[in-house]
């Protein structure tokens, strides 16, 4: 259950992950996207695709959005997620920043 309505780009991110669809996953991000996962940085669609291969659909992740709240900035959202699959398993935080109906920044912590 989420505490606010889930914006379309975040829904696309979750749906693509659930389907294991790497192309749709990358398409949820802006061309110049920034993704940080516990200090590891990835840039642009190529970086997002690399992260997806090693840490998301490539390891059959399932991400359940437990809560979603407004972040500190405009178009910023903080999600508590429960992750399972053949990679990381557990609870974490994903901070999304949106621009032009895409994810421009994702910080995983």
Q: Tens digits of per-residue pLDDT, 57-78?
A: 999 999 999 999 999 988 999 9
CATH label of the domain that carries residue 70: 3.10.450.50
Strand order in the sheet with 29-37: 40-43, 29-37, 102-108, 90-99, 76-84, 62-70
In a domain, 44, yes or no: yes
CA dihedral 20, 21, 27, 33 (to 10 degrees): 30
What are the distances in angstroms from CA 16 to CA 24, 26, 52, 71, 73?
6, 9, 10, 23, 25
Angle formed at CA 109 by CA 67 and CA 34, multiple of 5 degrees: 100
Range of the domain at 95: 8-108
Q: What is the pTM of this model?
A: 0.94
Domain count, the chain: 1
53 falls in which pLDDT band (50, 70, 90)?
very high
In a domain, 19, yes or no: yes
């Amino acid at each position: 259950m989420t505490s606010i309505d889930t914006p379309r780009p975040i829904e696309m991110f979750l749906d693509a992950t659930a389907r294991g669809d790497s192309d749709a996953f990358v398409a949820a991000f802006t061309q110049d996207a920034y993704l940080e996962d516990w200090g590891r940085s990835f840039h642009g669609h190529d970086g997002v695709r690399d992260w997806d291969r090693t840490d998301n659909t490539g390891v059959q992740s399932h991400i359940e959005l437990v809560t979603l709240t407004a972040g500190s900035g405009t178009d910023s959202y903080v999600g508590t997620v429960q992750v399972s699959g053949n990679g990381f398993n557990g609870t974490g935080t994903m901070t999304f920043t949106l621009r032009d109906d895409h994810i421009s920044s994702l910080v995983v912590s």
